[in-house]
Amino acid sequence: METAKNEGHEKNWESGLMILCGLSLVAGFTLEHFFALPPVYHHTAWTLAYLSGGYFGVVESFASLRKGQVDVDLLMVLAALGAAYVDHPLEGAMLLFLFSLSNVLQNYAMERSRNAIQSLMKLRPENVSCQVDGKWELQAVADVQPGTLILVRPGESIALDGKILRGQSAVDESSLTGESIPVAKQIGDKLYAGTLNQRGSLEYEVTKTEAESTLSKIISMVENAQSQKAKSQRFLETAEQFYAAGVILFTLGLIFIPWKIFDEPFDRSFYRAMTVMVVASPCALIISTPAAFLSAIGGAARKGVLFKGGVHLERMAQVKVLAFDKTGTLTVGKPSVTEIIPLSGEDEENRKQLLRKLAIVESHSEHPLAQAVLRKAKAENLEVPEPRDFHSIPGKGATATVEGSFLVAGSLRYFEEENVSIPDDLLARCQTLQDEGRSLILLAEQTDSLNLLGVVAVADEIREDAAQMIAGLRKRGIERIAMLTGDHPRVAAHIAAQLGIDDVYAGLLPEDKVEVIRKLQAEGAVAMVGDGVNDAPALATAHLGIAMGAAGTDVAMETADVVLMSDNLCHLVNAFALAKRSRRIVAQNLIFSMAVILVLVISTLTIGIPLPLGVIGHEGSTVLVCLNGLRLLSFKV
């Protein structure tokens, strides 16, 4: 906090000196040209302009020289002093003023990029209503510990991560996930700091401290990301000192060669050299990359897309091969009932009776397929009483007594092993369902033999927007798309065919996914998209790891290079679009900056443009580059 205050004071001090320099510049010009006063008056104004406008440049120059480096600040200070030496203090003061103004504007622009995510902090209140000895009392958020019970009323912000114990409501989570539609919340659901409770009072138990909350991790992640520079930015910063040294040597050549060899007047060659030193300075070039990447990172973070550094944003634009984990990424990740086929006739009543009986048998099972059946029964408001004599048959099924009947639920293979009679038409239908990637649960009643009652099909369904997402990625330059899954090859092939995926790798363990990623890397830069848990090794191996739907998932945040807080697949497409747009804007900035330097240098050496015009062209290009980069703050992610 103290560091932030010091930085704020320094920025205010820099702005104040810039204003003082401008006022002194105007005063010096006015006193020299409009008042018949002794020279000491306008000389004093020029001196004040130089001291105020050049203060930070001198400080930065000495700091660089102590490290054995030469930077742009030194070039500007030398050029201003050179202008004063040849009796052009107005041009030197104008240079220092515009250079100071340009730095202030750059700092403002970059600060907007760096602080974009900090707006989330305003959503978190400083105090919350906590239960203490049976009474609700206000406590500072920083003092609240896990296990504390908090009350949040309609319209209030949620201060800390937690789990709902009482009440139900709709919560606006757009600040974290970028999703504008409120999320329905009920008992047992998670709440995240920085989100907004819209309807209904909620009582929830705190699960994480303020520092450990999802919101705090996001802010920390973005702050760290902004310190991780892109490869192009690191190159330009390294090249700056060599370029600046080269400019100084070139300037010295422009001073002494025309003067000593061609007998040109010293003042003329010196003035031209100072102008070249100004226009050749790489200010706009150096700011080109961070102006764009920091804006992109900050703008994307506010919409739930977190890049862990400019290097990852730059790398995403280079990806040609994209590998997806299937479950929870291309599919919903939660099995659901898709078909109910009673043998007694497929009318609505028979369908409900078969589902109800199967739900009763499966009510004590923790298997994902059993849970899918129970969710379907609950959705249809079916009564599911407790079964008697429940018994699980590992890997095969379960049995239970339901309302006096002994029922058996199991897989098709189990029933075939038990030689249960299955009608040919139903068997053919079961085969078709399995080819489509469905898992089957058969239900039978035990009398003298097992009498089949019907079949329920369950599947992890493809996300509604998956096909649209695949098409969008191809439009944005992804040349090859692969799917990696531990599922059965037949299921994987069916899903891949529906989505138009190029390569399918099925039956994989986590270590197998790593080998597939290494194989794909032979074709170009590879990005891996997964849930960040069992996919962590593959995410770490790929050139770029992308975790989806990672709100509150610690493993995903720590492993991936890019984190999509929402499971909305459109955000993935837009993240690639943002990466491509960022690369284009960086290219625009670099080409524009180099073109301005080239034009100004050639113009100075040929037609001899005056120093003030060179200063305006140089500083103007720097400001334009910053403004061009700032456009990424509002990119639609």
Strand partners, 439: 458
- CA angle (175 as vertex; 233, 316 as ends), nearest 5: 30
Q: How far is CA 414 from CA 252, 420, 456, 479, in A?
A: 90, 9, 15, 43
Whole-angstrom distance, CA of residue 345 vs CA of residue 453: 10
Could you tell me if 586 and 297 are in contact, meaning their C-beta atoms sit under 8 angstroms apart? no
Task: Say what the pLDDT of residue 1 is.
Answer: 39
Rg for the chain (alpha carbons), in Å? 34
Helix (H, G, I), strand (E, B) or coil at 132: strand
* 3-class SS letters over 514-561: HHHHHHHHHHCCEEEEECCCCCHHHHHHCCEEEEECCCCCHHHHHHCC
For residue 568, the SS3 value is coil
The pLDDT value given to residue 4: 45
- Tell me the C-alpha distance between 538 and 526, whole Å: 11
CA atoms lying within 13 Å on the CB side of residue 440: 23
* pLDDT for the residue numbered 510: 78
**Dihedral (Cα; 299, 302, 305, 309), 10-degree rounding:** 60
N-terminal to C-terminal alpha carbon distance within the chain: 31
d(CA 99, CA 66): 22
Q: Which residues contact 428 (CB under 8 A, 6 or more apart)?
A: none
Burial degree of 612 (CB within 10 A; 0-12, 13-18, 19+)? middle
| Secondary structure (H, E, C), 357-382 | HHHHHHCCCCCHHHHHHHHHHHHCCC
- Determine the Cα–Cα distance for residues 502 and 462; give it in Å rounded to an integer: 17
Mean pLDDT per 10-residue segment, the chain (637 residues): 49 88 94 90 94 92 88 88 89 89 76 58 79 90 93 90 92 72 86 87 93 78 61 75 90 94 91 92 87 86 83 92 89 86 89 93 83 91 88 81 89 85 89 83 87 90 89 93 85 88 88 91 92 77 86 67 86 93 94 96 93 88 89 77
Domains parsed from the chain with CATH numbers:
2-116+223-295+581-634 (no CATH), 125-158+160-209 (2.70.150.10), 303-331+463-580 (3.40.50.1000), 336-459 (3.40.1110.10)
Q: Which of 325, 460, 487, 561 is catalytic?
A: 325
CB atoms within 10 A of CB 47: 15
Q: Helices in 442-523 by DSSP H: which ranges?
A: 466-475, 489-499, 510-520
Q: What is the pLDDT of residue 280?
A: 92
The residue to which tokens 């600060």 are assigned: 111
Report the SS3 class of residue 615. Answer: helix
pLDDT at 110: 64
Give the DSSP H/E element, type plus range, for residue 151: strand 149-152
- Which residues does 381 contact at the CB level (< 8 Å), separation at least 6? none
CA distances from 459 to 257, 328, 356, 409, 531 (A): 81, 13, 19, 17, 19
* Measured distance CA(303)–CA(632) in Å, rounded: 13
Backbone angles phi, psi at 545, to 5 degrees: -100, 130
The residues facing 307 across adjacent strands are 562
Alpha carbons 175 and 209: distance in angstroms, whole number:
19
pLDDT at 2: 41
Judge whether 325 counts as a catalytic residue: yes
